[in-house]
Structure 1
């Protein structure tokens, strides 16, 4: 049973390609609300983290997607993107959201997908350079939610990678 103020143990760094199912299972243990968000699957391709989500656990009183749940999902997905990218670099660092905004464009009325990518083409390189020079850095990410072909929500977040104290784990 998780206790407030006690960090959850880190997932060991992958020895090759990340097992996203194992990461998803660990995420549910580390952040209890994850189990209630309706995340059905995760995939990563060309620096895009895509989630498939079920609408049912995220319904509002109108029978569409609840804005608070959708906001939580976008914020969490950005945190996952940075965490997974760091893990791919052999780093186990703390990541926090520094800023987050959402713009709701259309109702979410069915199962949906959420896609997270860097907001700027040079974002990954800038983060890499900041980590190498200062041991910490930030990256701006964009999350887009699609219900079928409909573009329903766009979110932006700034995520900070905190300076590590011997948190790199050998592979």
Structure 2
């Protein structure tokens, strides 16, 4: 049981140049953030610069029988946090990440199981973040998350994620 005000232990970093095992990372995430086990995440995978979640709709239903906007918003924010955290971990950094700004645009109702895709908003984002971390010890990256129900884009979110300086 998590305690208020007590940080969860960090997951050990992967070997240099390697990526985290997605299932091990998801298991740790579920311990670190208790609500994760209720989000319906069935799979997490990395596809180049993209991080993809496959999700079940049932745990995220609203009173109308479609996707609950609050749950979907939480998922987009968390997916961006995961993208940033995994990017850092792949480069050997165990750093704190926070969402600095987030906005969503709902385009169509979510009526079935869906996938969320997260990637940098611009090609320069990862390079700029790496440069800022090296020169200032902190940085930010803009990410975009898209929720797809089949071939229908239902939600697009944008978030800025801040990598905090080492305390």
Counterparts in 2 of 1:15-164, with a 5 A limit?
A: 15=15, 16-164=18-166
TM-score by length of 2: 0.98
Question: Any stretches of 5+ residues in structure 1 without a counterpart?
Answer: 166-171
TM-score by length of 1: 0.95
Shift of 1:6: 0.3
Shift of 1:17: 3.0
The runs of at least 4 consecutive aligned structure 1 residues that moved more than 6 Å come to none
Shift of 1:74: 0.1
SS of the residue corresponding to residue 123 of structure 2 reads: coil
Shift of 1:67: 0.1
In 1, Cα distance between equivalents of 2:82 and 2:20: 12
Deviations 1:89-128 (A, max 9, x none): 0000000000000000000000000000000110000000
Matched pairs, number: 165
Two-structure CA RMSD over aligned residues (Å): 0.6
Paired position in structure 2 for 1:3: 3
In 2, Cα distance between equivalents of 1:95 and 1:123: 15
In 2, Cα distance between equivalents of 1:134 and 1:164: 11
SS of the residue corresponding to residue 110 of structure 1 reads: coil
In 2, Cα distance between equivalents of 1:17 and 1:126: 21
Question: Any stretches of 5+ residues in structure 2 without a counterpart?
Answer: none
